[in-house]
DNA sequence: TCTGGGGTCCTAGGACCC
DNA sequence: TCTGGGGTCCTAGGACCC
């Protein structure tokens, strides 16, 4: 979008990713934890239904990782320090990091999450620039980060993994296949276990095989958009412009996993009311009308269903609550419920960033 | 290993219209 | 009567990311 800013040099994409971010923030305020296996998740109680948000490298050595049930993690690392998630602390640290990235003249910054961002910059020495960024972030926040350098967003993102921890790695069209070609497709950003399994059924197991595939051959399996997108991903190609247009939320949702499955309809209704109140708080802060509602229900043990409805634009909390309760009337009576979720979709402003690239989860 | 919480986007199929 | 061919909107579900 804007490649004319800053000093001379070639445009590069940097992907900056904080190392074990959440665990590192916890160590900053409790230095005595340095070097110990730290697991952050839920309310910090390993007897509850919750999962791991982040584990320190010391805990990862025992096989603990993000998304693992807290109970299982605690069993694997008996002497782990288990801490509750503290969103505010991570958000504050994140904002300081992003500020530091933006403060460099000519840099465009696209935030992907608490602990990572793309930085667009023009320079003849991207490695030197990356080291400057690392030093600046370390000085300002005492946090270490790794930096991937690429000629596309995808290559920069994938490159970061080779730089961890606290390193720098460059991936371009010139070395993409040398580095990635022999690796399984699952290592690509946007290819998970399902898609890699479906690719394998087509005889495509490695990145090189995906890169060499004809996009048209993937359409019957993946559809007109995702088929060609996966082929492009295999080559590491795609967008190369960092888009700093502020992100606009499409909607807000809240969900709760109950520590004990709910069977009483009155308890269910209370839970829906509470979810609605929390969702409406977030929506009200946006100042945009609600145009749709979706209720998610997980019946024990794991059967999840969703029910959604478009609604006429409204700001009225009572109306929205009434529609949410309407949806909840579709819940099967007497069947134990493990999770309830409510999502409100909001009207989008005309100038919001469009999804010009089919990706999920942030850009 | 018995699975959070907050997001995004894509796809398929049905309804409906001309 | 043995049954067109789009186009659009909506909903449910799937997949992935941090």
Q: Is the peptide bond before A301 cis (omega within 30 degrees of 0)?
A: yes
Range of the domain at A65: 22-87
Last residue of a domain, one of A169, A186, A218: A169
Residues A160-219 have pLDDT tens digits of 999 999 999 999 999 999 999 999 999 999 999 999 999 999 999 999 999 999 999 999
Please give the mean pLDDT across all residues of chain A. 91
Residues 244-283 of A with CB under 7 A from strand B: 249-257, 278, 282
Q: Quote the pLDDT of residue A333.
A: 87
What CATH number corresponds to the domain at position A9?
3.30.70.270
Whole-number pLDDT of residue A302: 86
Note whether A303 and A340 are same-domain residues: yes
Per-residue pLDDT tens for A284-336? 999 999 999 999 999 998 889 999 999 999 999 999 999 999 999 989 988 99
Same domain for A116 and A147, yes or no, is yes
Tell me the mean pLDDT in the region A61-80: 91
User: Which bases of strand B sit closer than 7 A to a protein CB?
Assistant: 1-12
Looking at the structure, tell me whether residues A69 and A139 fall in a common domain: no
**pLDDT over 70 percentage in chain A:** 94
Residue A362, pLDDT above cutoff 90: no
Distance CA A79, CA A59 (A): 10
Same domain, A132 and A201: no
Residue A96 falls inside a structural domain: no
Is the pLDDT reported for residue A356 higher than 70? no
Tell me how far apart the alpha carbons of residues A1 and A244 are, in angstroms, rounded to a whole number: 9
d(CA A295, CA A57) in angstroms, rounded, equals 37
Q: Which of A146-155, A237-246, A261-270, A297-306 has the highest mean pLDDT?
A: A146-155
CATH number of the domain that residue A299 is part of: 3.30.1490.100
Chain C, protein-covered positions (CB within 7 A): 9-18
A12 plus A128 within the same structural domain: yes
CATH number of the domain enclosing A209? 1.10.150.20
**A104 in a domain, yes or no?**
no
Does position A350 have pLDDT exceeding 90, yes or no? no
pLDDT above 70 (res A112): yes
Domain-located, residue A155: yes
Last residue of a domain, one of A209, A235, A261: A235
Residue A14 and residue A148 in one domain: yes
Active site residue A116: yes
Is residue A120 one of the residues assigned to a domain?
yes
Alpha-helical regions (H) of chain A: 21-29, 57-60, 70-76, 87-102, 126-141, 153-163, 176-180, 193-201, 207-212, 215-235, 265-286, 317-328
Residue A357 forms part of a structural domain = no
Instruction: Give every CB contact of residue A86 below 8 A, 6+ residues apart in sequence.
Output: A26
Are A339 and A256 found together in one domain?
yes
| Domains: count for chain A | 4
Mean local confidence (pLDDT), A2-8: 51
Task: Give pTM, 2 decimals.
Answer: 0.91
Whether A165 and A186 map to the same domain: the answer is no
- Is position A14 within any domain? yes
What angle, rounded to 10 degrees, do the helices at A87-102 and A21-29 form? 100
- Please tell me the predicted confidence (pLDDT) of residue A359: 41
d(CA A14, CA A149): 5
Q: Is the pLDDT of residue A4 over 70?
A: no
Looking at residue A235, its pLDDT comes to: 97
Residue A266 falls inside a structural domain? yes
**Confidence bin at A354 (pLDDT 50/70/90):** very low
Q: State whether A118 and A55 are in the same domain.
A: no
Q: Is residue A256 in some structural domain? A: yes
pLDDT at A358: 39
Residues A164 and A150 occupy one common structural domain: yes
Catalytic member of A26, A58, A88, A116: A116
A179: which 2 tokens?
Answer: 């580095």
Give me the pLDDT at residue A7, please: 59
Q: How far is the CA of A67 from the C1' of B13 (A)?
A: 33
The confidence score (pLDDT) of residue A349 equals: 80
Residues A259 and A335 in one domain: yes
**Does residue A76 reach within 7 angstroms of strand B, measured from its CB?**
no
Percent of residues, chain A, with pLDDT higher than 90: 87
**pLDDT band for position A342 (cuts 50, 70, 90):** very high
Q: How many CB atoms lie within 10 A of CB A142?
A: 12
A276 with A335, same domain: the answer is yes
- What is the tens place of the pLDDT at every residue in A210-222? 999 999 999 999 9
In angstroms, how far is C8 C1' from A96 CA?
46
Residue A273 main-chain phi, psi, to 5 deg: -60, -40
What is the rounded end-to-end Cα distance, in angstroms, of chain A?
14
CB-contacts to strand C (7 A): A 67, 112-116, 157, 188-196, 292, 294, 304-310, 360-362
């Amino acid at each position: 979008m804007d490649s004319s800013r800053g000093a001379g040099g070639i445009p590069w994409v940097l992907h900056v990713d904080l190392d074990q971010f959440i665990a590192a923030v916890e160590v900053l305020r409790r230095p005595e934890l340095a070097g110990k296996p730290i697991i952050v998740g839920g309310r910090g109680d390993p007897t509850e239904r919750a999962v791991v948000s982040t584990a320190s490298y010391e805990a990862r050595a025992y096989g603990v990782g993000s998304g693992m049930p807290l109970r299982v993690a605690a069993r694997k690392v008996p002497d782990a320090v288990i801490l509750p998630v503290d969103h505010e602390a991570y958000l504050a640290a994140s904002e300081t990091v992003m500020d530091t990235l933006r403060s460099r003249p000519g840099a465009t910054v696209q935030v992907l999450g608490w602990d990572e961002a793309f930085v667009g910059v023009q320079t003849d020495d991207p490695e030197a620039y990356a080291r400057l960024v690392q030093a600046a972030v370390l000085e300002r926040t005492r946090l270490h980060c790794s930096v991937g350098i690429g000629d596309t967003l995808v290559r920069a993102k994938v490159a970061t993994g080779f730089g961890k921890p606290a390193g720098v790695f460059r991936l371009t069209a010139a070395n993409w296949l040398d580095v990635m070609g022999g690796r399984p497709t699952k290592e690509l950003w946007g290819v998970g276990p399902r898609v890699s399994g479906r690719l394998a059924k087509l005889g495509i197991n490695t990145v090189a095989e995906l890169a060499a595939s004809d996009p048209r051959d993937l359409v019957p399996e993946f559809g007109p958009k995702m088929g060609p997108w996966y082929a492009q991903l295999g080559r590491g190609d795609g967008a190369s412009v960092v888009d700093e247009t502020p992100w606009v939320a499409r909607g807000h949702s809240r969900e709760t996993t109950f520590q004990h499955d709910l069977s009483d309809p009155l308890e269910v209704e209370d839970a829906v009311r509470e979810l609605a109140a929390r969702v409406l708080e977030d929506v009200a802060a946006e100042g945009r009308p609600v145009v749709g509602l979706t209720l998610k229900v997980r019946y024990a043990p794991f059967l999840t269903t969703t029910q959604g409805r478009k609604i006429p634009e409204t700001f009225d909390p009572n109306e929205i609550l009434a529609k949410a309760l309407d949806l909840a009337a579709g819940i099967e009576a007497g069947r134990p419920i493990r999770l309830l979720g409510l999502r409100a979709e909001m009207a989008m402003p005309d100038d919001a960033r469009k999804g010009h690239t089919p990706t999920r989860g942030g850009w």
